[in-house]
């Protein structure tokens, strides 16, 4: 890429909201606001193309970029009538902010430099102009600290320690209590700190500083924390960030200045109400970083009435312009309001549903548009547990309800420990004074986050809400001793590893592990899932093996059962001995006896499920276990024989143990997952599918007798590779169904289909379809056998490294490998339908509940997806969104 073909620089007046890929979210929305006549500070944007080119060349700026920036700067100086670095005598200085602005917002992840342009030459003029020297010196010391930390990499505590020491010497608590002379002293000290830490002075030429600041923002795109955030949020690495260079406006010029953050609706609940925080005489980072605790926005009406009225009007204008809840940053400089940012606000799932529903009622959005505003995966948040209200305990303290849901876990005090223990599957709650973007890897795996400091818009709150983690922020009464690893609340001291419970919906913190209950599904949820049902084309069924699961699935909107795994019914402790006898039987008689014991148990299971599904289809899959799951372990059985031999034990016992060992050895397989599974077992022992078919038919007839209706019975043959297998198994099932119905003198419609879960089956799907009324893609085994990765070992082995190192885009057992396994599904679907155009095609692997995979299944025109009961609502949504995506709406 060269400067000739790509435009690297855009004046703010050149852009609009549609230019997000080039200008980043912040830059595009600033340009849009300017276009709408909303007051924003003037400036220009260095495009994402410049960042991408710089990153690609290992940090080298593209030719001509710096010259373009200087041209843009000159134009900005002309428009503002000010000069970077001031005029000859330092008067009339232009001060700049340099802010990152990615295409997809990454709150707090990337760098910002403020007050660029204040220096020894300009500080006096700045103070004189504002008639407030204190403000000028305060800006100067802030700049030195930010520049030193962000651009030069000086450790933050180096400056912070000096500030704390000075406040201690002056006996004050707040920065605002320091005098002009104190701040002048701090500027001198900060220069010394920089010299000490870097072995040289910070650059004093503002153009050189500007270059360094832009370069630092480019660099912040590729920091470890930014990469972790992108991976966690599925943001591509090659988007790059834009850099917004804007004239500074000052919220810290005195008591008629302020800065704040607001949302046009409540981002926790979705209620349309005033929601925000502000601080008088402060700069933006004071609010976001939680250094001073801000005031509720409503109080601004008394302090700065005109700016307040204008802000409230602008909030409404922006929301109706964007047709979405906005997250806004503003500054009031000497009573004049400026908007520094607007973007679509992050919100909880509950809020997303409420807002979407309200905006349809308000006729701002159509139902279909509203569906686009709710991420299917966000619904997971609504399925989060809450604290059982019967707990009868009192909270030990209360903070702000920053992100809803309840979390129980052991206290840990740093993000690394949280990442390590949480990553290993332990329940931990991350307790921090305040979180910073560097804590992100710990927040991701913690059950919840508790902070002592910071408001509802602090970093901890925003990040936790985005991830659906419960968070209590600003619990100011807690004391944390990180080196000593203790948390003190009142007179209670918690050591690392002690249990606490957070209620992110109320802000309450409990000093013990409380019982959690599953969440309730509210009216917004019901209304919006009903809209999704109107839009979606694919059916949504559930994978359920018990009456209880089936009932839950129906409650959550499943339209049938797509997979009832019968082997789970065989594993119950009271059944295992009979199942074992069946497998190990050495004569047909012996096997028949064992099967006769199992049959009524199976029938009972099916009766429960058919009753729960009252007329909806139920796909019962015949037995599909790797044999070893039912047999004693080979090593243990060998040891038992050895022990009996050594102890000269009971001869009869020894002989029985030896016999069993012989049988186990005979049936032992090196690769049980590729062994006598699925229909292979039924091919060896047709008595097994026969017994299961009898149980299914008898159950269906019994339920019809009792309830007047029965579920639609579909019998599914697993792990078929050859059409001849299906042909043979189908014959067994058909013969048995006919036999049972003749005996009962009844009629019942039973359809017979198969799973497509081996690559061979997908390839010869046309041959298989000759014998199948339906297919169900078993994408778990299709991934295992198609990619050649063991399902059972995958996550513990190389796969996690592959995902972390981005060798592959993600875990193919979670989200379908589109090109490979997706290709097999496509082949299976097309070839199957080439023989039977009306062939019903389902998916019952885990991917049936994964929104991204559901997108592919819609593209392939499958009939339905089937997933675990709790994922059913997500699948209903995702299926509707997939239709909208296909339509390109
Ligand atoms: C599959 O393989 O995708 C499937 C649903 O079957 P199971 O997970 O029971 O092997
Ligand atoms: Mg399978």
Collapse the DSSP code of 86 into the 3-class scheme (helix H, G, I; strand E, B; otherwise coil) and give the result.
Answer: coil
Q: What pTM, to 2 d.p., does this model score?
A: 0.73
Residue nearest to atom 8 of ligand 1 (CA): 780
Q: How confident is the model at residue 1 (pLDDT cuts 50, 70, 90)?
A: very low
**Which sign, positive or negative, has the C-alpha torsion 804, 808, 809, 811?**
negative
- Mapped to the 3 state alphabet, what secondary structure does 551-583 carry? HHHHHCCCCCEEEEECHHHHCCCCCHHHHHHHH
Would you state the pLDDT for residue 232?
A: 74
Encode pLDDT of 365-420 as tens digits: 999 999 998 887 677 667 767 787 678 889 999 988 777 789 999 999 999 999 99
Q: Is the pLDDT of residue 878 over 70?
A: yes
What's the CA gap between 571 and 325, in Å, rounded?
51
Residue nearest to atom 4 of ligand 1 (CA): 778
Residue 844 falls in the annotated catalytic set: yes
**Residue 377 falls in which region: left (phi positive, over 0), alpha (psi -120 to 50) or beta:** alpha
Q: Is the pLDDT of residue 290 over 60?
A: no
Which CATH fold topology does 385-517 show? Glucose Oxidase; domain 1 (3.50.30)
What's the CA gap between 585 and 754, in Å, rounded?
28
Residue nearest to atom 10 of ligand 1 (CA): 781
Encode pLDDT of 500-524 as tens digits: 999 987 889 999 999 987 676 789 9
Would you state the pLDDT for residue 284?
A: 72
Structure tokens at 572: 């119950």
- Is the CB of 845 within 6 Å of ligand 1? yes
Q: Tell me the CA–centroid distance for residue 678 and ligand 2, in Å.
A: 8
Q: What is the mean pLDDT of residues 635-655?
A: 87
We find that the CATH architecture of domain 258-344 is 2-Layer Sandwich (3.30)
What's the CA gap between 608 and 610, in Å, rounded?
6
Q: How far is CA 428 from CA 341, 486, 704, in A?
A: 35, 15, 50
Higher pLDDT, 384 or 645: 645
Residue nearest to atom 1 of ligand 1 (CA): 778
What's the CA gap between 786 and 820, in Å, rounded?
7
What's the CA gap between 330 and 250, in Å, rounded?
10
Would you state the pLDDT for residue 231?
A: 80
Would you state the pLDDT for residue 520?
A: 60
Encode pLDDT of 85-119 as tens digits: 999 888 999 999 999 999 988 877 778 899 999 99
Would you state the pLDDT for residue 3?
A: 42
Q: What does the radius of gyration of the chain's CA atoms come to, in whole angstroms?
A: 33
Among 51, 844, 847, 867, the one annotated catalytic:
844
- Is the CB of 779 within 6 Å of ligand 1? yes
Would you state the pLDDT for residue 150?
A: 93
Would you state the pLDDT for residue 288?
A: 60
Where do runs of H (alpha helix) occur along 199-253?
206-220, 224-233
Residue 310's Cβ-side half-sphere holds a number of Cα atoms within 13 Å equal to 15
The residue count for the chain: 889
Q: Give backbone dihedrals phi and psi of 101, rounded to 5 degrees, phi first.
A: -160, 90
User: Which of 381-395, 710-724, 734-748 bottoms out in mean pLDDT, i.e. has the lowest?
Assistant: 381-395
Encode pLDDT of 129-155 as tens digits: 989 999 999 999 999 999 999 999 998
Encode pLDDT of 562-581 as tens digits: 999 887 677 666 777 888 88
Would you state the pLDDT for residue 795?
A: 57
What's the CA gap between 187 and 173, in Å, rounded?
19
Which of 285-299, 384-398, 413-427, 447-461 has the highest mean predicted lDDT (pLDDT)?
Answer: 413-427
Q: What is the mean pLDDT of residues 199-226?
A: 94
Structure tokens at 27: 């830059």
Q: What is the mean pLDDT of residues 638-667?
A: 87
Would you state the pLDDT for residue 379?
A: 75
Q: Is the pLDDT of residue 627 over 90?
A: no
Residue 15's Cβ-side half-sphere holds a number of Cα atoms within 13 Å equal to 32
CA angle (873 as vertex; 867, 877 as ends), nearest 5: 105
Higher pLDDT, 439 or 418: 418
User: Which of 458-462, 606-610, 800-804 bottoms out in mean pLDDT, i.e. has the lowest?
Assistant: 458-462
- Is the CB of 791 within 6 Å of ligand 1? no
Q: How confident is the model at residue 455 (pLDDT cuts 50, 70, 90)?
A: low
Q: Are 415 and 442 in contact (CB under 8 A)?
A: yes
Q: How far is CA 758 from CA 674, 720, 779, 852, in A?
A: 10, 7, 9, 22
Q: Tell me the CA–centroid distance for residue 255 and ligand 1, in Å.
A: 66
Q: Tell me the CA–centroid distance for residue 94 and ligand 2, in Å.
A: 67
- Is the CB of 843 within 6 Å of ligand 1? no
Q: Tell me the CA–centroid distance for residue 778 and ligand 1, in Å.
A: 5
Mean pLDDT for the chain overall: 91
Residue showing tokens 């060998």: 638
Would you state the pLDDT for residue 423?
A: 86
- Mapped to the 3 state alphabet, what secondary structure does 281-349 carry? CCCHHHHHCCCCCCEEHHHHHHHCHHHHHHHHHHHHHHHHHHCCCEEEEEEEECCEEEEEEEEECCCCH
| Cα 683 → chain centroid | 44
Angle between helices 523-535 and 349-361 (to 10 degrees): 70
Q: Give backbone dihedrals phi and psi of 406, rounded to 5 degrees, phi first.
A: -110, 150
Q: Are 533 and 513 in contact (CB under 8 A)?
A: no
Cβ neighbours of 363 (radius 10 Å):
7
Residue showing tokens 């972390």: 804
Collapse the DSSP code of 609 into the 3-class scheme (helix H, G, I; strand E, B; otherwise coil) and give the result.
Answer: helix
For residue 776, the ligand closest to its alpha carbon is 1
Would you state the pLDDT for residue 157?
A: 87
Class in CATH terms, 536-626+669-887: alpha beta
Q: Is the pLDDT of residue 2 over 50?
A: no
Domain boundaries, given as residue ranges, for the chain: 258-344, 385-517, 536-626+669-887, 633-668
């Amino acid at each position: 890429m060269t400067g000739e073909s790509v435009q690297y620089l855009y004046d703010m007046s050149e852009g609009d909201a549609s230019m997000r890929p080039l200008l980043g979210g912040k830059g595009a929305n600033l340009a849009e606001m300017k276009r709408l006549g909303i007051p924003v500070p003037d400036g220009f944007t260095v495009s994402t193309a410049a960042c991408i080119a710089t990153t690609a060349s290992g940090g080298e700026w593209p030719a001509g970029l710096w010259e373009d920036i200087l041209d843009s700067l000159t134009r900005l100086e002309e428009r503002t009538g000010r000069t970077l670095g001031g005029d000859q005598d330092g008067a009339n200085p232009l001060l700049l902010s340099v802010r990152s602005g990615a295409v997809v917002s990454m709150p707090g992840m990337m760098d910002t430099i403020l007050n660029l342009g204040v220096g020894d030459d300009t500080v006096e003029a700045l103070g004189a102009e504002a008639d407030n020297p204190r403000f000028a010196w305060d800006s100067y010391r802030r700049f030195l600290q930010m520049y030193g930390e962000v651009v030069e990499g000086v450790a933050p505590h180096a400056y912070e320690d000096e500030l704390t020491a000075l406040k201690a010497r002056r006996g004050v608590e707040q920065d605002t209590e320091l005098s002009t002379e104190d701040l002048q002293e701090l500027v001198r000290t900060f220069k010394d700190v920089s010299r000490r830490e870097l072995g040289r002075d910070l650059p004093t030429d503002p153009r050189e500083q500007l270059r360094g600041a832009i370069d630092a923002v480019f660099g912040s795109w590729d920091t470890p924390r930014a990469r972790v955030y992108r991976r966690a949020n599925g943001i591509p690495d090659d988007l790059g960030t834009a850099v917004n260079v804007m004239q500074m406006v000052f919220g810290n010029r005195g008591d008629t200045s302020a800065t704040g953050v607001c949302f046009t609706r409540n981002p926790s609940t979705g209620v349309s109400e005033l929601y925000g925080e502000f601080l008088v005489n402060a700069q933006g980072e004071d609010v976001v970083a939680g250094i001073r605790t801000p005031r509720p926005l409503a109080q601004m009406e008394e302090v700065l009435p005109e700016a307040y009225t204008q802000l409230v009007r602008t909030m409404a204008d922006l929301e109706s312009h964007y047709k979405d809840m906005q997250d806004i940053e503003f500054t009031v400089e000497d009573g004049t309001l400026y908007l520094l940012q607007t973007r679509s606000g992050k919100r909880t799932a509950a809020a997303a549903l409420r807002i979407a529903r309200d905006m349809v009622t308000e006729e701002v959005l159509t139902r279909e548009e509203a569906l686009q505003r709710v991420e299917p995966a966000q619904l997971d948040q609504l399925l989060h547990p809450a604290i059982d209200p019967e707990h009868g305990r009192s909270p030990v303290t209360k903070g702000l309800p920053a992100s809803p849901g309840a979390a129980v876990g052991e206290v840990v005090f740093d993000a690394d420990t949280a990442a390590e223990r949480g990553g290993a599957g332990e329940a931990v709650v991350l307790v921090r004074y305040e979180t910073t973007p560097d804590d992100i890897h710990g927040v991701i795996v913690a059950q919840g986050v508790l902070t002592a400091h910071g408001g509802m818009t602090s970093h901890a709150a925003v990040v936790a809400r985005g991830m659906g983690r419960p968070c209590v922020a600003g619990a100011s009464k807690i004391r944390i001793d990180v080196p000593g690893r203790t948390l003190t609340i009142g007179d209670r001291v918690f050591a690392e590893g002690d249990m606490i419970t957070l209620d992110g919906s109320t802000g309450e913190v409990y000093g013990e592990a409380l019982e959690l209950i599953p969440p309730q599904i509210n009216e917004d949820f019901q209304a919006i899932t009903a809209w999704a049902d109107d839009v979606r084309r694919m059916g949504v069924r559930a994978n359920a093996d018990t009456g209880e699961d089936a009932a839950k699935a129906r409650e959550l909107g499943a339209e049938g059962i797509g997979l009832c795994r019968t082997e789970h019914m065989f594993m119950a402790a009271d059944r295992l001995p009979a199942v074992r006898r069946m497998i190990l039987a050495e004569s047909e008689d012996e096997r028949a006896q064992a099967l006769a014991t199992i049959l009524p148990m199976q029938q009972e299971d099916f009766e429960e499920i058919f009753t729960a599904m009252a007329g909806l289809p139920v796909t019962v899959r015949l037995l599909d276990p790797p044999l070893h799951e039912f047999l004693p372990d080979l090593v243990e059985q060998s040891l038992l024989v050895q022990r009996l031999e050594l102890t000269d034990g009971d001869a009869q016992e020894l002989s029985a143990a030896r016999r069993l060992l012989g049988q186990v050895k005979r049936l032992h397989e090196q690769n049980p997952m590729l062994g006598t599974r699925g229909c292979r077992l039924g091919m060896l022992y047709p008595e097994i599918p026969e017994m299961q078919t009898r149980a299914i038919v008898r159950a269906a007839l019994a339920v019809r007798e009792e309830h007047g209706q029965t579920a639609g019975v579909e019998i599914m043959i697993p792990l078929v590779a050859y059409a001849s297998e299906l042909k043979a198994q189908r014959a067994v099932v058909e013969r048995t169904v006919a036999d049972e119905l003749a005996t009962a003198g009844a009629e019942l419609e039973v359809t017979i289909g198969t799973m497509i879960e081996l690559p061979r089956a997908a390839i010869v799907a046309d041959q298989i379809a000759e014998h199948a009324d339906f297919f169900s893609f078993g994408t778990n085994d299709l991934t295992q056998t198609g990619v050649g990765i063991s399902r059972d070992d995958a996550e513990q082995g190389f796969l996690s490294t592959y995902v972390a190192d981005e060798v592959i885009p993600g875990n193919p057992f979670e989200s379908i490998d589109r090109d490979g396994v997706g290709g097999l599904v496509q082949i299976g679907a097309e070839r199957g339908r080439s023989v039977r155009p009306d062939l019903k095609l389902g998916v019952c692997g885990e991917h049936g509940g994964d929104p991204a995979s559901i997108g592919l299944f819609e593209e392939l025109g499958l009939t339905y997806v089937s997933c675990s009961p709790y994922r059913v609502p997500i699948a209903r949504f995702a299926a509707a969104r997939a239709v909208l995506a296909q339509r390109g709406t």
